[in-house]
A = this chain, B = another copy of it.
Amino acid sequence: MENFRLHIPTDIRFGKDRLEELPEVLSPYGKRILLAYGGGSIKKSGLYDKVVALLKDNGFSFVELSGIAPNPKIDSVRQGVRLIRENQLDAILAVGGGSVVDASKVIAAGVYYDGDVWDLVLDRSKVGRAVPIVDILTLAATGTEMNRNAVISNPETNEKLGTSGWELIPKASFLDPTLTYTVSKWQTAAGAADMMSHLFEQYFNRTEAVDVQDSIAEGLLKTIIKYAPIAIREPENYDARANLFWSSTLALNGLVGQGRSGGWSCHPIEHELSAYYDITHGIGLAILTPRWMTFCLDKDSTTHAKFAAYARNVWGLNQGTDEELARQAVQKTYDFFKEQLEIPMTLPEVGIENQDLVSEMSEQAVKHGGLSNDRFVNLTVDDVKEIIKASYNPMETF
């Protein structure tokens, strides 16, 4: 285990029927609020009206920033920074999915940055002080509600990049599983795949003796594998929604990732798919992940032992050599995404039909994601091409 710092002071308010705590939680950060949200879903669900009533009844004033899109765009961030400066706002209340929180984080830091806020995405060392953020999350997926990371897209440059800063961690997050009842099958599946991918990115790693972190990752993976299909079949199953929600938060709040080094693999590749084609992030991850796993197994036999541990401890498999167990587990993963989460598991099925951009995306992934160094298996541009190309066809059953 390597040295680490863990400091996640987010005040988590988990559960149903506790939104009335919002004024008390928000008050320490000021009374002038930027209310950030996405499309119309929080209006349709009635959440918008509840939040607005709570703010008005408790002496808050607020300015709205609406229309923050999935794969949040830098333009929304620029707009948020302007609104906070022009109206001298004290804090951000982000209501919605991970995209709204991610945009809010970069807005929060942008207020204190002289220059174009895209700089903060290109260079996280420029992220400093930030406006406080409180969020009400409506989608279980990214884990942004309890960490210091944000991912922002720039459609002009086809870039989707992550940034980070200790000051960006939300002060408080309201996690109400009932708010995710209306999340569609598609988004529930994408969210489950996203949180599983967060765990894979940290778990498939070369640092030795991180049993604490690995066993937490295995436990969360088992929990997601148990409950995601239930949430898809029964969208208002509270226990399923609660376990998914809390798993998504813990998957990426540092518990699993701290104490080890090494970068991520599938996310940087998926970020290129989303940047070029604006596909749903979690769906892209589900498609890429089993191909990346197979690539690792084929290329580097030193990966077999860790994949075999995944087979044993997550899928309960125990028959065969490490390599056999590993390949069974990859197949289980693929089948889970396809059959249990009902995810279309090839790129053409999500509208990416021709292969014209594969080379460009692969180059960008290696460049932006640093994939050729310090990975579970280092990837060249040709390796990434192979992984993306394999994603155009159904995966062969071995």
Task: Give chain A's interface residues, CB within 8 Å of chain B.
Answer: 1-18, 208-209, 211-212, 214-216, 218-220, 222-223, 226-227, 238-239, 242-243, 246-247, 250, 255, 258-259
Copies held by the complex: 2
What is the distance, in angstroms, from A210's C-beta to the closest C-beta of chain B? 8
Residues of B near A212 (CB, < 8 A) are 219-220, 223, 243, 246-247, 250
**5 closest cross-chain pairs (CB), A and B:** A3-B15, A215-B219, A9-B9, A209-B239, A6-B12
Question: Is B243 in contact with A211, judged by CB distance below 8 angstroms?
Answer: yes
How far is B247's CA from A212's CA once the two chains are assembled, in angstroms?
A: 6
Residues of B near A215 (CB, < 8 A) are 216, 218-220, 222-223
How far is B5's CA from A13's CA once the two chains are assembled, in angstroms?
A: 5
Question: Is B1 in contact with A243, judged by CB distance below 8 angstroms?
Answer: yes
Partner of A3, one of B18, B211, B214, B218: B18
Question: Is A7 in contact with B14, judged by CB distance below 8 angstroms?
Answer: no
8 CB < 8 A contacts A-B? A1-B15, A3-B18, A4-B15, A6-B14, A209-B243, A211-B222, A215-B219, A216-B216
Cβ-closest chain B residue relative to A1: B242
What is the distance, in angstroms, from A102's C-beta to the closest C-beta of chain B? 22
What is the distance, in angstroms, from A374's C-beta to the closest C-beta of chain B? 19
Residues of B near A259 (CB, < 8 A) are 14, 242, 246
A9/B12 contact (C-beta < 8 A), A211-B223, A250-B255 known: no
Residues of B near A4 (CB, < 8 A) are 12, 14-15
How far is B220's CA from A242's CA once the two chains are assembled, in angstroms?
A: 22
Question: Is B1 in contact with A239, judged by CB distance below 8 angstroms?
Answer: yes
Question: Is B12 in contact with A7, judged by CB distance below 8 angstroms?
Answer: yes
What is the distance, in angstroms, from A9's C-beta to the closest C-beta of chain B? 3
Question: Is A12 in contact with B3, judged by CB distance below 8 angstroms?
Answer: no
Question: Is B5 in contact with A11, judged by CB distance below 8 angstroms?
Answer: yes
What is the distance, in angstroms, from A28's C-beta to the closest C-beta of chain B? 13
What is the distance, in angstroms, from A277's C-beta to the closest C-beta of chain B? 33
Residues of B near A16 (CB, < 8 A) are 3
How far is B223's CA from A212's CA once the two chains are assembled, in angstroms?
A: 6
What is the distance, in angstroms, from A336's C-beta to the closest C-beta of chain B? 17
How far is B13's CA from A7's CA once the two chains are assembled, in angstroms?
A: 9
What is the distance, in angstroms, from A16's C-beta to the closest C-beta of chain B? 7
How far is B4's CA from A4's CA once the two chains are assembled, in angstroms?
A: 27
Question: Is B246 in contact with A1, judged by CB distance below 8 angstroms?
Answer: yes
Residues of B near A226 (CB, < 8 A) are 211
Residues of B near A10 (CB, < 8 A) are 7
Cβ-closest chain B residue relative to A173: B6
A242/B209 contact (C-beta < 8 A), A218-B219, A219-B216, A259-B14 known: yes
Residues of B near A208 (CB, < 8 A) are 239
Cβ-closest chain B residue relative to A219: B215
What is the distance, in angstroms, from A65's C-beta to the closest C-beta of chain B? 27
Cβ-closest chain B residue relative to A208: B239
How far is B247's CA from A344's CA once the two chains are assembled, in angstroms?
A: 39
How far is B214's CA from A246's CA once the two chains are assembled, in angstroms?
A: 12
What is the distance, in angstroms, from A292's C-beta to the closest C-beta of chain B? 25
> Of residues A14, A18, A247, which shows the largest number of chain B Cβ atoms within 10 Å of its Cβ?
A14
How far is B7's CA from A218's CA once the two chains are assembled, in angstroms?
A: 24
Cβ-closest chain B residue relative to A4: B14
Cβ-closest chain B residue relative to A218: B219
Residues of B near A222 (CB, < 8 A) are 211, 215
